[in-house]
């Protein structure tokens, strides 16, 4: 299940692109099915079956893009409560050495139809 769902950025490339942060309760939780709803000029994102949602007011240019395509690209950064904390011991010279690698960040993107 989704603990929190937050829209961080909305912008236009070839179509409307929405960046979102999603926090899950456990690493074994795979129940995330995003849904998009458009009411007036308010775009709402939610997980299927959840009452919680995150909304964003679109401007006129973004509304024109939405009405033209009826699709949007969702870019999601997934985190899990308690797993992705702050790194305390950092490498003194991050460009060299065996510890120079970054930790993997679970991200994915998908195209979603916009339901009026």
The answer to whether the beta carbons of residues 75 and 107 sit under 8 Å apart is yes
Instruction: Name the pLDDT band for 71 (thresholds 50, 70, 90).
Output: very high
For residue 18, the enclosing domain spans 2-83+103-113
Q: Percent of the chain at pLDDT above 90?
A: 41
Q: Is residue 97 situated within a structural domain?
A: no
What's the confidence (pLDDT) of residue 31? 81
In a domain, 47, yes or no: yes
The per-residue pLDDT for range 72-81, each reduced to its tens digit, is: 999 999 887 7
* Domains contained in the chain, number: 1
- Type and span of the H or E element at 101: none
How many alpha carbons fall within 13 Å on the CB side of residue 36? Answer: 23
């Amino acid at each position: 299940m989704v603990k929190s769902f937050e829209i961080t950025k909305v912008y236009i490339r070839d179509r409307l692109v929405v960046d979102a942060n999603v926090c899950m309760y456990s690493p074994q939780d795979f129940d995330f099915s995003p849904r998009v709803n458009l009411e007036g000029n308010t775009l709402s994102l939610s997980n299927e079956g959840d009452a919680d949602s995150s909304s964003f007011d679109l401007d006129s240019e973004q509304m024109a893009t939405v009405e033209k395509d009826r699709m949007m690209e969702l870019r999601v950064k997934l985190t899990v409560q308690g797993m992705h904390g702050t790194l305390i011991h950092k490498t003194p010279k991050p460009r060299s050495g065996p510890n120079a690698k970054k930790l993997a960040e679970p991200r994915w993107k998908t195209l979603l139809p916009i339901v009026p």
